[in-house]
Amino acid sequence: MTARILRRVGYTAGLPAVLVALWWVASAGSDSFFWPPLRTIVATFPDTWLTGRLGEDVLPSVLRLLAGYLLALVLGVALGVPIGLHRRVRAFAEPTLEFFRAIPPPVLVPVIALFAGYTGSASKVVTIAIGCLWPVLLNTVEGVRAVDEVLVDTARCYHLRRRSQLVHLTLRGSSPQIAAGARQALSIGVILMVISELFGADRGLGASIVQFQRSFAIPQMWTGIILLGVLGFLLSLIFRLVEHRALAWYRGLRDANRGA
Amino acid sequence: MATTEPTTTAPEAAATDVALDVRGLQKTYGGQGRSVEAIRELSFSVPRGQLTCIVGPSGAGKTTLLRCIAGLLDVTAGEIVLDGERVTGPPRGMAVVFQEYGRSLFPWMTVQQNVERPLIERRVPKAERRRVVADALAAVGLGDSGEAHPWQLSGGMQQRVAIARAVAYEPTVLIMDEPFAAVDAQTRADLEDLVRDLWHRLGVTVLFVTHDIDESVYLGQRVLVLSNRPTVLLEDVTVDLPDERDQLGTRGTHRFAELRGHVYELIQRAKAGHRPEDDAGPAS
């Protein structure tokens, strides 16, 4: 058992360890201004981030990300369910959705800023929410449409009430697909968290990285990029843990079907 | 949905001994300028407590008929009356066991939750609910699988769960749509005996649709043989076998062979396109 866990950890951590080691060795003797040794970058890390920036830059960024992301989840599912359930609503809404989906969300940043203000949190949260909305919404629509019709008939025959149908049939049935959309949305959210701070923001993780770069604080800039990577990794780890628990039935069902 | 017969007041009187009444049922699927006539005319009634089997060649509209009876599909003409009430949507007193057991159980619920869900919807008190669910699972031989998820069970066991759910629902009429078409032969024999056993014990009216001729004769008190599309009733065969049936003895009797042969012949003729009106005049 422990041997198996060790082997799994080895598999998971192996490549990152090798890459970090490679970076460490390859950059060790570097005197390039733009490619400082990894040792220098690591040494700069505590002074850069642990002296207040974590609370004043990173935390607000993460909170904005979470706010926008949750907003997108709620909106995406709330809009996706009726669109997925009713053919008429779908025919009515789908072309419009396809149009808006085709617009890259970063383009909207200046537009949103015009309405919601450049410096406040609102414009950033809105940007993140709009970018995250599409994968959640479109996957919810597909997931709801794909709920097994035999199950729908079963629910009708056994007179599941409206609320029960929504919770125990529609939402549970489409949850694997919603989760797939939510996973896509999370990575889009991280990207937009940074991009939304590139225009006229003075605080935040993304804004900090840009400021370091502009003031030629290169090791500090690198620490910011690493922090960003670690943050994205942690978020997706948390996501995977939640998904693992919530969709245990789905994995079991899939494995059972594969075995048969 | 239009009906021309003025029969809407009659069912009240007959409600005591007729569980299900199908009158002049017609079903035509309409679509983009093209319509398909699935059921031309079907009328039959099922007395309370009877086990009736419906057989027909593949594509005979068995599933269409069943979905109409279950209130899942609107009828084009005629009416279906359950317990004296005209069916316009899934009726309260009806439970359905679908052919696709793997798809009719909620995979995110445990076996127990699957059986319990319809009772929760009917606001059965918790203590009673637990008792009914336990009894139903015990009756199908799954007393200790309540905590498992359906996909952890074999196909036969999954269909037992679906049967337990139907039994726990305490329906007037139990509808089964080719429930054992996808399980292996041995499991199938066990499940057939389970259905006979539950039917005896609960006194429920059963409508059992199958494409298996042997199964229909072995299970039923009566076999309705359907024609091919557009469907009409080819023959209403009474199965006069003794009530006590077992897989080896009953299937070995002379009478079983006769009945089986008769239904087989009807199905062969149905496949060849024979229709009852052919006996009266030339086919169109």
The larger pLDDT score, comparing residue A53 to residue A147, is at: A147
H/E element, B97: strand B94-97
Instruction: In whole angstroms, give the CA distance from residue B233 to residue B43.
Output: 8
**Distance, CA of A9 to chain centre:** 24
* Shortest alpha-carbon distance between residue A225 and chain B (Å): 40
Give the torsion through C-alpha atoms of A201, A207, A213, A217, to 10 deg: 110
Range A141-156 burial, b when 16+ CB lie within 10 A, else e: bbbbeebbebbbbbbb
Q: Is B90 on the interface with A (CB under 8 A)?
A: yes
- A87 touches A173 (CB < 8 A): no
* Shortest alpha-carbon distance between residue A166 and chain B (Å): 13
Q: Contact B117/A164, CB-based, under 8 Å? A: yes
Instruction: Output the pLDDT for position B110.
Output: 94
Q: Contact B106/A257, CB-based, under 8 Å? A: no
Q: Is B126 on the interface with A (CB under 8 A)?
A: no
Handedness of CA A71, A73, A74, A76 (dihedral sign): positive
Kindly give the confidence (pLDDT) of every residue in chain B, 284 residues in length, as a single tens digit, with 9 standing for 90 and above.
444 444 444 444 444 688 899 998 888 888 777 788 888 888 999 999 899 999 988 877 888 898 899 999 888 888 999 888 888 889 888 999 998 888 899 999 999 999 999 999 999 999 999 999 999 999 888 888 889 999 999 888 999 999 999 999 989 899 999 888 888 888 888 888 889 988 988 889 999 999 888 889 888 899 998 888 888 888 888 888 888 888 888 888 888 888 888 888 888 888 887 777 766 544 44
Instruction: Output the pLDDT for position A260.
Output: 55
Instruction: Tell me the chain A residues in contact with residue B120 when contact means C-beta distances shorter than 8 Å.
Output: 164
Distances (CA, A) of A193 to A63, A64, A210, A233, A259: 10, 7, 13, 15, 42
Instruction: In whole angstroms, give the CA distance from residue B36 to residue B29.
Output: 5
Interface test with A, best of B121, B153, B165 (most A CBs within 10 A): B121
Q: Contact B104/A151, CB-based, under 8 Å? A: yes
Q: Is A166 on the interface with B (CB under 8 A)?
A: no
Query: Which tokens belong to A81?
Result: 């369910």
Interface test with A, best of B67, B69, B108 (most A CBs within 10 A): B108
* Shortest alpha-carbon distance between residue A37 and chain B (Å): 51
* Shortest alpha-carbon distance between residue B122 and chain A (Å): 8
Instruction: Output the pLDDT for position A5.
Output: 83
Interface test with B, best of A150, A152, A158, A161 (most B CBs within 10 A): A158
Q: Contact B103/A150, CB-based, under 8 Å? A: yes
**Distance, CA of B49 to chain centre:** 13
Q: Contact A158/B95, CB-based, under 8 Å? A: yes
Residue of chain A minimizing CA distance to B113 = A168
Q: Is B109 on the interface with A (CB under 8 A)?
A: yes
Query: Which tokens belong to B159?
Result: 């269909």
Asked whether the ipTM of the predicted complex exceeds the cut of 0.85, the reply is no
Instruction: Output the pLDDT for position B127.
Output: 92
Instruction: In whole angstroms, give the CA distance from residue A12 to residue A6.
Output: 10
Residue of chain B minimizing CA distance to A147 = B103
* Shortest alpha-carbon distance between residue B41 and chain A (Å): 25
Instruction: Output the pLDDT for position A1.
Output: 67
A1-5, A117-121, A125-129, B227-231: which has the highest mean pLDDT? A125-129
Give the torsion through C-alpha atoms of B211, B213, B219, B224, to 10 deg: 80
Q: Is B138 on the interface with A (CB under 8 A)?
A: no
List pLDDT tens digits, range A226-250.
999 999 999 999 999 999 988 999 9
Instruction: Report the SS3 class of residue B82.
Output: strand
CATH topology (fold) of A58-259:
MetI-like fold (1.10.3720)
* Shortest alpha-carbon distance between residue B220 and chain A (Å): 24
Backbone angles phi, psi at B11, to 5 degrees: -55, -30
Q: Give the 3-state secondary structure of A73-122.
A: HHHHHHHHHHHHHCHHHHHHHHHHHHHHHHCCHHHHHHHHHHHHCCCCHH
Instruction: In whole angstroms, give the CA distance from residue A157 to residue A165.
Output: 12
Instruction: In whole angstroms, give the CA distance from residue A20 to residue A14.
Output: 10
List pLDDT tens digits, range A13-39.
888 889 999 998 888 888 888 888 888
| Cβ neighbours of A160 (radius 10 Å) | 21
Q: Is A167 on the interface with B (CB under 8 A)?
A: no
- B216 touches B208 (CB < 8 A): yes
Query: Which tokens belong to A75?
Result: 């909106």
Q: What one-letter code names the amino acid at A36?
A: P
Instruction: Tell me the chain A residues in contact with residue B89 when contact means C-beta distances shorter than 8 Å.
Output: 156
The larger pLDDT score, comparing residue B275 to residue A216, is at: A216
Q: Contact A172/B70, CB-based, under 8 Å? A: no
Q: Contact A157/B121, CB-based, under 8 Å? A: no
Helix axes A38-49 and A2-27, enclosed angle (nearest 10): 100
Q: Is A251 on the interface with B (CB under 8 A)?
A: no
Touching B: A residues 126-145, CB under 8 Å: none
Instruction: Output the pLDDT for position A181.
Output: 95
| Whether the bond into B11 is cis, omega within 30 of 0 | no
Instruction: Output the pLDDT for position B278.
Output: 65
Q: Contact A158/B106, CB-based, under 8 Å? A: no
**CA geometry: angle at A213 spanning A207 and A214, to 5°?**
90
Q: Which of A118, A121, A116, A178 has its CA nearest to residue A146?
A: A178
Q: Contact A252/B94, CB-based, under 8 Å? A: no
- In this prediction, residue A103 has a pLDDT band, given cuts at 50, 70 and 90, of confident
